[in-house]
A and B are shown apart, each in its own frame.
Chain A
Amino acid sequence: GESVGLHLPTLSVQEGDNSIINCAYSNSASDYFIWYKQESGKGPQFIIDIRSNMDKRQGQRVTVLLNKTVKHLSLQIAATQPGDSAVYFCAENRGPSGYSTLTFGKGTMLLVSP
């Protein structure tokens, strides 16, 4: 889930397990949501997005679920690999498409052990 204070929430899993990373968002008017992955020493990398008129979207090994009733977003990673170890951020848009900015969550660290 989202972090509070200085400590990043951490999810530790074994290689091959499925991982679920959660995110609570704040703006019920957001049009879309994006998940990013940030490896150590690198900039955030786009993983997958979902529009607010959807409740599920699948990519390669990843699935994003959106529950607008409780303003909750999750990222599911199937068959987690050591290369998935990173910090994962959710982001929601502010403003209309084309002129929007993103508000980022504080991130969750995923640690995958072999």
Chain B
Amino acid sequence: DVKVTQSSRYLVKRTGEKVFLECVQDMDHENMFWYRQDPGLGLRLIYFSYDVKMKEKGDIPEGYSVSREKKERFSLILESASTNQTSMYLCASSTPGTGVDTQYFGPGTRLTVL
């Protein structure tokens, strides 16, 4: 089974803090993704990566950055957390080659910024 793990299930931070959300997958997947999920807005893509040291902006990259130094790990960084970044953050991974790029998700990190 594909396993995607996220470093924290719940996180509480203060406005202005630098926040790191870590994601690790154990299936040697090339592609990794970060989403945020908010009521009424569904899942929105923040950043994604097709390979180590590569990154692409998603639909809502403002206020975020990412790092992919190793294939299995994809980090989401909030340089200066703000209250409007309070959300559920979901990481996913996929691998090409089957014609359907099924994404497999981690359990999510619920981040509260006070």
Query: Which A residues contact B (CB, under 8 angstroms)?
Result: 3, 5-8, 31-32, 34, 36, 41-46, 49, 51, 89, 93, 97-102, 104-107
Asked whether A106 and B42 contact (CB < 8 A) given A51-B99, A51-B100, A98-B97, the answer is yes
Asked whether A101 and B104 contact (CB < 8 A) given A5-B40, A8-B40, the answer is no
Q: Is the CB–CB distance between A44 and B96 below 8 Å?
A: no
Query: Which B residues contact A (CB, under 8 angstroms)?
Result: 4, 31, 33, 39-43, 45, 48, 50, 58, 90, 92, 96-108
List chain B residues, Cβ under 8 A from A45: 105
Q: Is the CB–CB distance between A93 and B101 below 8 Å?
A: yes
List chain B residues, Cβ under 8 A from A99: 31, 50, 96
Q: Is the CB–CB distance between A100 and B101 below 8 Å?
A: yes
What are some 12 contacts across the A-B interface (CB < 8 A)?
A8-B39, A34-B100, A41-B108, A43-B90, A43-B106, A46-B102, A49-B102, A51-B100, A89-B43, A97-B98, A99-B96, A107-B42
Q: Is the CB–CB distance between B100 and A42 below 8 Å?
A: no
Chain A nearest Cβ from B8, distance in angstroms: 14
Q: Give the complex CA separation of A89 and B107 in angstroms.
A: 16
* 8 other A-B residue contacts (CB within 8 Å) besides A43-B107, A49-B102: A34-B100, A42-B108, A43-B4, A45-B105, A51-B100, A97-B98, A97-B99, A99-B96
Q: Is the CB–CB distance between B40 and A43 below 8 Å?
A: no
Q: Please pick, from B42, B58, B97, the residue contacting A101 in the complex, using a CB distance under 8 A.
A: B58
List chain A residues, Cβ under 8 A from B40: 3, 5-8, 106
